[in-house]
Amino acid sequence: MPTSPSDPAAGYDLAVIGAGPAGLAAAVTAADLGLRCALLDAGPRTGGQYYRHPAPGLGATRPGRLHHGWRHYTALAVRLAAHTRAGRVDHLAEHQVWTAERAEGWLLHAGVGAAAERRATVRARAVLLATGAYERQLPFPGWTLPGVVTAGGAQAMLKSGLVLPGRRIVLAGSGPLLLAAASSLVAAGAEVPLVAEAADYLGYARRPAVPAAVPGKLAEGAVHAAALLRHRVRLLRRTAVVEAHGTDRVTGVTLARLDRDWRPLPGTERRVACDALAVGHGLLPQIELATELGAETRRTPDGAFALRVDARQRTSLPGLWAAGETCGVGGADLALAEGELAAYAVAGRPPSAGTVRRRARLRAFAELMAAAHRPGAGWPGWLRPDTEVCRCEEVTAGRIGEAVDALGAGDARTVKLLTRAGMGWCQGRMCGPAVACLAGGPAAGPDSRPLAVPVPLGQLGRLGPCGRSDGPGPSAGPRG
């Protein structure tokens, strides 16, 4: 059982879930402050989605070339390695936590290995949730064609496998990730004819108005903008891909201008050829481990649900802390600051005033970004009745409309019950926002996902009583 080798019964002072920017910063800072830490992550290497980098076997010579702020990562990685050698941090790679259980502190139940073929239970006094975010998807006709990827997925392919999703790639959707992805793709040699931003805002790429107090963010935007200018990438505002064309694979897209509410304007459609399309509508906090325990949430300006935390990153549940995207999507710099703040708070030490100020500044900027890229209510205007909304269960927009009109489903949960939309493998991560919107309005609360990831039944059944791992299974018959 991979808990603390020195004293497995007592467990760790702090278990950090997620080894992206927030989790890494938290684990090394907490270890600096004398806490014994476990750093759990679903992936084989630290870095999370943001600092995703190629497996050593691929022989990448300059993985940092694809990253803004790579030196932050390498510095953290060096500190982590020192703590790991000294036994202050255990990096538990390929640990997918499926639930957190309260039991004199916390028990984290995880599947271990690339296919969760083994299991582990990690005990800790405090838990920090740094599980990041996943991409918000809005469906459109043709979005299930091969060659249509998410903006984050395109970046991930590039960062981890050094491969491109196509040669001529259109980017569409909304949010700063689009420009970052476009910039990475052109730097890696792809042709990007255009970036279609659905919102009316590309200000951070064009003029230094709003984020005057955030020089780091500005610099990042300027770098992307310069790269895109150099490669003659056109930036279109209030424009969306309303259909992807192709039979075996995407061969082109139809663009349309949008009104203020993201309703496609008739007569503005035009076709653009491409062999790949990367779409993203920003990120959604991945918070189910906390919300299933009853942690309080807040709605961010883009309509997402994030964990409510106080100035010291405490959630509403004693002993549970959160940092980074789980508290509202805001990028790597904010995640680093929040991870550090959380570590100080868990250790009961005052944080540096500079970090507190940096966090406040970056958080304010994140809220502005979220407001600028909030999906408009008119986007379903580009759906057709046969457009698949839930890909896992193959539920079309038409069937969702029937559930709403004929069966009285007025919210996302009821639509799910009556159509199976959101019941498949991804548990609604892909279709959740779209289903909520089609059901007649934003969801009243965060999606319910009692199991954060799928768990093999045999593994569930072999957990020891009270959740201790590796205990013998119950010996009685089926009698409960």
> How far from 73 is each of 16, 18, 50, 215, 344, CA to CA, in Å?
17, 14, 10, 19, 20
Smallest CA-to-CA distance from 455 within 124, 15, 97, 3 is with 97
Q: How far apart are CA 129 and CA 374, in angstroms?
A: 25
451 is a contact residue toward another protein (CB under 8 A): yes
State the minimum distance, in angstroms, from the CB of residue 115 to another protein.
10
Smallest CA-to-CA distance from 192 within 151, 160, 161 is with 151
Number of residues near another protein (by CB under 8 A): 46
Query: Looking at beta carbons only, is 57 or 461 nearer to another protein?
Result: 461
54 is a contact residue toward another protein (CB under 8 A): no
Smallest CA-to-CA distance from 98 within 283, 292, 284, 285 is with 292
Helix or strand (DSSP H, E) at 185: helix 176-187
474 is a contact residue toward another protein (CB under 8 A): yes
441 is a contact residue toward another protein (CB under 8 A): no
State the minimum distance, in angstroms, from the CB of residue 413 to another protein.
7
413 is a contact residue toward another protein (CB under 8 A): yes
Provide the 10 A C-beta neighbour count for residue 459: 17
Q: Would you call 447 exposed, middle or buried from its count of C-beta atoms within 10 A (0-12, 13-18, 19+)?
A: buried
State the maximum Cα–Cα separation within the chain, in Å, rounded to a whole number.
Answer: 70
State the minimum distance, in angstroms, from the CB of residue 327 to another protein.
22
Query: Looking at beta carbons only, is 9 or 466 nearer to another protein?
Result: 466
Among 44, 161, 385, 456, binds another protein (CB under 8 A): 456
State the minimum distance, in angstroms, from the CB of residue 464 to another protein.
8
Handedness of CA 205, 209, 211, 216 (dihedral sign): positive
Query: Looking at beta carbons only, is 227 or 403 nearer to another protein?
Result: 403
Query: Looking at beta carbons only, is 318 or 461 nearer to another protein?
Result: 461
The footprint of another protein on residues 290-319 (CB under 8 A) is: 292-294
208 is a contact residue toward another protein (CB under 8 A): no
Site string for another protein, 89-118 (x = CB under 8 A): ----------x-x-----x-x---------
Q: How far apart are CA 184 and CA 465, in angstroms?
A: 49
472 is a contact residue toward another protein (CB under 8 A): no
450 is a contact residue toward another protein (CB under 8 A): yes
| DSSP E strand stretches across 294-409 | 297-299, 305-307, 320-322, 388-390, 395-396
Backbone angles phi, psi at 138, to 5 degrees: -120, 125
Asked if 58 and 162 touch (Cβ cutoff 8 Å), the reply is yes
State the minimum distance, in angstroms, from the CB of residue 191 to another protein.
39
146 is a contact residue toward another protein (CB under 8 A): no
191 is a contact residue toward another protein (CB under 8 A): no
Among 56, 59, 266, 477, binds another protein (CB under 8 A): 477
State the minimum distance, in angstroms, from the CB of residue 453 to another protein.
9
The contact set with another protein (CB under 8 A) reads: 99, 101, 107, 109, 292-294, 393, 403, 406-411, 413-414, 417-418, 420, 423-425, 427, 448-451, 454-458, 460-463, 465-467, 473-474, 477-480
